[in-house]
Chains A and B, each alone.
Chain A
Amino acid sequence: MHRTLSDYIVDLTQNSVEAGSSVVIVDLIEQGFYIKVYISDNGSGMDAEALARARDPFFTDGVKHEKRKVGLGISFLAQFIAQCDGKWDMTSEAGVGTSLYFEYYGKHPDAPPLGNLASAVVCCMGLPGSFDLKFSRSLDGDSYSVMRSEVIETFGDISDAETLIALREFVRLSENELIINKGTCKCQN
């Protein structure tokens, strides 16, 4: 199990990137006390059999990590959503991509805290590969977003520590602005 929502976002986004996607979209929506996350990609996708087995912690495709026999990312998500009475779903089509969605009540006693979202966004944007990623965040209707392609266009090398530090600061400031405008972030336990 991961400790924070931000950790889940990094883990699941990495799945999308490792699936060879050219475009990944991550939406974090906080409305009232409810938190919804949508992650979609145009990567390799899965056929119906692989999709069904993706929930099994003792299943992995054997391609992403040769010789490894477990794949825990989706199992962690399923367990966390079950423990806080949330909902989740994943749809996928081989060669087309995968869409994943989950939602839960942020004040549930077993809900994870938001965690360090700025760091999570930087981790997602800094994943290796030539893909675009749009991260959108909204809190009670107010929002901000950042695109990986724009960051690269503005700064060049996204693996450069200076770029990552500036991006982290940007997300922190954007996040602070949302919280100041809307009061306390409700998904922070």
Chain B
Amino acid sequence: MSKLTLADLKKLRDEKKKEMVKREEGKTTQIIIGMGTCGIAAGAKEVFDAFLDEIDAKGLTDVAVTQTGCMGKCHVEPTVEVFAPDMPPIVYRDVKTDIAKRIVNEHLIDRKIIADHIFDKPADILK
């Protein structure tokens, strides 16, 4: 059996927490990744990983990363919806790992919308 336990997991998390800097007290950002069959086939899992990597690298806190099923826009997968404080909710299309990094740096940190990857109308399923 593995020697690792949940206590190790908690220790890891506490170590990570020490490295992180509070960004904006009480304000939560949410990133929702389309993870249906179409999204996974288009690389959504790698995108999910890239978000975690960049959030970790930049030491961001108060960020929720969640998933949803097929957003009904299979032709522009992976799709990612971003809710950031004081910004409109945005659905990005064709999000590859490099765009995921740009979303963290430009949308979440610099508070600039990445115009060339906006999916112009949110799918009905999101309303």
Q: A-side interface residues toward B, CB under 8 Å?
A: 1-2, 6-7, 10-11, 14, 18, 64-68, 71-73, 76, 115-116, 119-120, 122-123, 126-128, 142-144, 146, 150-151, 154-155, 157, 159-170, 173-174, 177-178
Contacts and interface: CB of A to CB of B under 8 A. Distances in A.
A7 B49 CA distance: 13
B20 interface: yes
A161 B65 contact: yes
Nearest to B1: A143
Given A68-B70, A166-B12, A10 B40 contact: yes
| Range class of the B interface residue count | 35 or more
Contacts of B66: 126, 128, 159
B21 interface: no
Interface in B51-100: 51-52, 55-56, 60-61, 63-70, 72
A32 B117 CA distance: 45
B72 A2 contact: no
Contact of B3 (A1, A7, A169, A177): A177
Among A127, A151, A162: residue with most chain B CB under 10 A:
A162
A159 B65 contact: yes
Given A119-B45, A154-B10, A165-B16, A128 B55 contact: no
**At the interface, is chain A mostly helix, strand, loop or mixed?**
helix
A154 B41 contact: no
B93 to A, nearest CB: 18
Contact of A65 (B1, B45, B56, B70): B70
A157 B49 CA distance: 18
Among A122, A123, A142: residue with most chain B CB under 10 A:
A123
Contacts of B4: 144, 170, 173-174, 177
Nearest to B63: A161
B35 A123 contact: yes
Nearest to A147: B6
A143 B4 CA distance: 11
B36 A14 contact: yes
28 contacts: A10-B45, A14-B36, A65-B36, A65-B125, A76-B37, A119-B45, A120-B45, A123-B48, A123-B67, A126-B66, A126-B67, A127-B35, A127-B67, A128-B67, A143-B1, A154-B6, A154-B10, A162-B16, A162-B17, A162-B61, A163-B13, A164-B52, A165-B55, A167-B9, A168-B52, A169-B12, A170-B8, A173-B8
